[in-house]
Amino acid sequence: MSLRDRVSVTRVETPEQREQALEVIRATYRDEKRWVGDEAGQLPPEDLERDDVSWFCAFVDDRPVGVLRVLYDPPLELYAKYGFELLDRGIDVEKFIKAHRIAEVGRFAVIPEYRKYIVVVAALMRAASTETVARGYTHYITDVFEDDPHSPYQFHTRVMGFEPVATHEVGELNSSSRRITLVLDLKAAYRRLRAKGTWIYRFLTEGWDEGLHRRLV
């Protein structure tokens, strides 16, 4: 059986699923990267009850190997306090956030053993984007570390179509690395990937009904 057929993604909704997701955060954010001292605080139990947060956990067979969090309608103040250095002075960040329905992609992590397999990363993005589009959101925003050797920057920009819009020096995680803020227009990304007709478009939209496609056409 190919790895693609062995990968599955579950929305984290139960205490047991939370513990499985925390295994990944513990292995990556705490033990490997040392970005956090306590993995439990990254996915508090109350997140399971929130309407504005979704966590997804990727599995190979029954083993948890990756996580991703989506935060819907992230507060503008969260970004203002980071001290953005805009890459394009023509962008009004406040106006942009108010004019669109934005969701933040964060806590994106895959354990080292499976990090090189794009299908794991793509499966997490498929689960997240399917829900995000269904909820009527139009854009993703995310931060990546500039000097992290395992940064998803290349996947985000080359595969998904995220665009860098700003940098900032501080954030929630314990790292001295500069952060690069990326934005993805979901409709533009959908149209670009569909026009190319590559496997990633077919993979990301696998299982979509016509209603989801119409949201982005």
pLDDT band at 24 (very low <50, low <70, confident <90, very high): very high
192-207: average pLDDT: 94
Q: What is the 3-state secondary structure (H, E, C) of the chain?
A: CCHHHHEEEEECCCHHHHHHHHHHHHHHHHHHCCCCCCHHHHCCHHHHHCCCEEEEEEEECCEEEEEEEEEECCCHHHHHCCCCEECCCCCCHHHHHHHCCEEEEEEEEECHHHCCCHHHHHHHHHHHHHHHHHCCCCEEEEEEECCCCCCCHHHHHHHHCCEEEEEECCCCCCCCCCEEEEEEEHHHHHHHHHHHCCHHHHHHCCCCCHHHHHHHC
pLDDT in tens, 124-145: 999 999 999 999 999 999 988 8
Tokens of 66: 């990756």
77-103: average pLDDT: 72
Please report, rounded to a whole number, the percentage of residues in the chain having pLDDT higher than 90.
62
- pTM for the model: 0.91
Q: For position 156, what pLDDT does the model report?
A: 87
pLDDT band at 84 (very low <50, low <70, confident <90, very high): low
Mean pLDDT, the chain, integer: 89
Q: Which domains, ranges and CATH numbers included, belong to the chain?
A: 3-216 (3.40.630.30)
